[in-house]
């Protein structure tokens, strides 16, 4: 029973990691851009959740309004700054986004203070669900169901809509898509906003479970990198399976060896690198 509990926890956690990594991967796939500010936007999502919940008294409004706000900020960053550096090498992307992450982190401390906050579990999802003799927190069940829904919606968006088609075609050949008459600037900005918005959404969803603090960005970024190193950058399936694997490892290890649970995430990555240097779904 304890293990079932931890497996469910791991699924929820893994789906959150999936959302973050999917955003990172979608951006990288189309834009060939590495976003080191991804973790900072995740943190921002969490803080928006706190503020919007305080302001309106409802977690649901923050869940609805938070991701668009994060996406809008990302869109603004893309249009003003990031757009200028696509053609530069990855090292430049990394340094500029590290700069953005620093600015976001320090701004967050200026607005919300350096001390972490906790966010109450939303109304209607407090308490536990009991099945026979097994009890599980309602919010965590909601989390699994909701993230699965988002995951499906994302798959539908990428695989079955015109926008998704353009994103996938652009990942293969940006020039060709541009030549066929697509406004590539707009597509890039929207994709960047979508990917970062996913990080914001993940930040909001995880806030009631793990709380928020201004220095959570780098931690989350590290985990997202582990997921994409395991799953292969640019691979949607890789992000899903990598995220779930990391979530399950962390969750199961936390019963066996609580202090080493975070450590084991990175151990998993090292093992994957040694056995399969290009990740489970990556291409050489």
Partner 1 sequence: MNATGEPRPVLKSPGHSGRRRDAFVSLCSGLPGGPTAVVAALLVLMPVVLPSRTMATEILIFAMATLACNLLLGYGGLLSFGQAIFFGSGAYLSSLVMMHGGFGLLPALLTAAVAGAILAALVGALAIRRTGIYFVMMTLAFNQTAYFIAYTLSDWTGGDNGLLDVPRPPLTLFGVTLADLSDATAYYVFTAVLFFLIFIAVRKVIASPFGSTLIAVRENEARAGALGYDTRNFKITAFALSGAVTAPAGALYAMLLNFAPLENIQLSMSENIVIMTVIGGTGSLLGSLLGAGSWVIISDILAEIWPRWLILTGGALILIVLYLPGGLWGGVESLMRRFRGGGTPHAPDGIPNNDGSTAQPME
Verify binding: residue 100, partner 1, rule CB under 8 A.
Answer: yes
CA proximity to 245, closest of 66, 51, 18, 86: 18
Question: What stretch of H or E contains 130?
Answer: strand 128-131
Number of residues counted as binding partner 1 (CB under 8 A): 57
Among 9, 53, 105, 254, binds partner 1 (CB under 8 A): 105
Verify binding: residue 228, partner 1, rule CB under 8 A.
Answer: yes
Verify binding: residue 178, partner 1, rule CB under 8 A.
Answer: no
User: Residue 214, SS3?
Assistant: coil
Verify binding: residue 255, partner 1, rule CB under 8 A.
Answer: no
Verify binding: residue 184, partner 1, rule CB under 8 A.
Answer: no
Verify binding: residue 91, partner 1, rule CB under 8 A.
Answer: yes
Verify binding: residue 175, partner 1, rule CB under 8 A.
Answer: no
Binding mask 22-51 vs partner 1 (x if CB under 8 A, - otherwise)?
A: ------xx--x-x-----------------
Q: Tell me the window of 4-12, 66-74, 99-107, 245-253 that interacts with partner 1 (CB under 8 A).
A: 99-107
Work out whether the CA dihedral 179, 35, 150, 8 comes out positive or negative.
Answer: positive
Q: Tell me the window of 7-15, 124-132, 154-162, 213-221 that interacts with partner 1 (CB under 8 A).
A: 213-221
Verify binding: residue 182, partner 1, rule CB under 8 A.
Answer: no
Q: Residues near 208 by Cβ (< 8 Å), separated by ≥ 6?
A: 59, 119, 120, 121, 122, 139
Among 103, 135, 153, 176, binds partner 1 (CB under 8 A): 103
Question: What stretch of H or E contains 226?
Answer: helix 216-231
Q: Tell me the window of 3-11, 155-163, 221-229, 243-251 that interacts with partner 1 (CB under 8 A).
A: 221-229
Q: How far apart are the first and last CA of the chain?
A: 41
Q: Which two tokens stand for residue 63?
A: 């869940």
Compute the distance between CA of residue 195 and CA of residue 175 in angstroms, rounded to an integer.
21
Work out whether the CA dihedral 196, 153, 57, 124 comes out positive or negative.
Answer: negative
Beta-strand relationship, 128-131 and 134-137: antiparallel
CB 112 within 8 A of CB 47: yes
Q: Which two tokens stand for residue 211?
A: 């709380």
Among 101, 154, 240, 246, binds partner 1 (CB under 8 A): 101
Binding site for partner 1 (CB under 8 A): 28-29, 32, 34, 81, 84-85, 87-92, 94-96, 98-103, 105-107, 109-110, 171-172, 215, 218-219, 221-222, 225-226, 228-229, 232-235, 259-260, 262-263, 266-267, 269-270, 273-274, 277-278, 282-284
């Amino acid at each position: 029973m304890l293990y079932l509990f931890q497996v469910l926890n791991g699924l929820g956690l893994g789906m959150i990691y999936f959302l973050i990594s999917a955003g990172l991967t979608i951006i990288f796939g189309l834009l060939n851009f590495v976003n080191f500010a991804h973790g900072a936007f995740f943190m921002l999502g969490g803080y928006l959740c706190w503020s919007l919940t305080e302001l309106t008294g409802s977690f649901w409004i923050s869940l609805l309004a938070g991701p668009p706000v994060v996406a809008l900020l990302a869109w603004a960053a893309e249009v003003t700054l990031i757009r200028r550096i696509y053609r530069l090498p990855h090292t430049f992307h990394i340094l500029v986004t590290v700069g953005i992450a620093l600015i976001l982190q320090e701004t967050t401390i200026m607005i919300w203070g350096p001390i972490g906050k906790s966010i109450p579990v939303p109304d209607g999802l407090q308490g536990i669900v009991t099945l026979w003799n097994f009890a599980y927190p309602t919010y965590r069940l909601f989390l699994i169901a909701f993230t699965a829904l988002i995951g499906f919606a994302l798959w539908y968006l990428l695989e079955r809509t015109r926008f998704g088609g353009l994103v996938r075609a652009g990942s293969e050949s940006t020039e060709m898509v541009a030549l066929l008459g697509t406004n590539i600037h707009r597509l890039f900005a929207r994709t960047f906003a979508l990917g970062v918005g996913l990080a914001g959404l993940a930040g909001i969803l995880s806030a009631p479970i793990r709380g928020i603090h201004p220095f959570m960005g780098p931690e989350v970024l590290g985990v997202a990198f582990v997921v994409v190193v395991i799953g292969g950058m640019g691979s949607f399936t890789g992000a899903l399976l990598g995220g779930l694997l990391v979530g399950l490892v962390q969750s199961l290890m936390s019963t066996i060896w609580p202090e080493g649970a975070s450590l084991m995430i990175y151990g998993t990555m090292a093992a994957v690198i040694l056995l399969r240097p290009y990740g489970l779904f990556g291409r050489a």
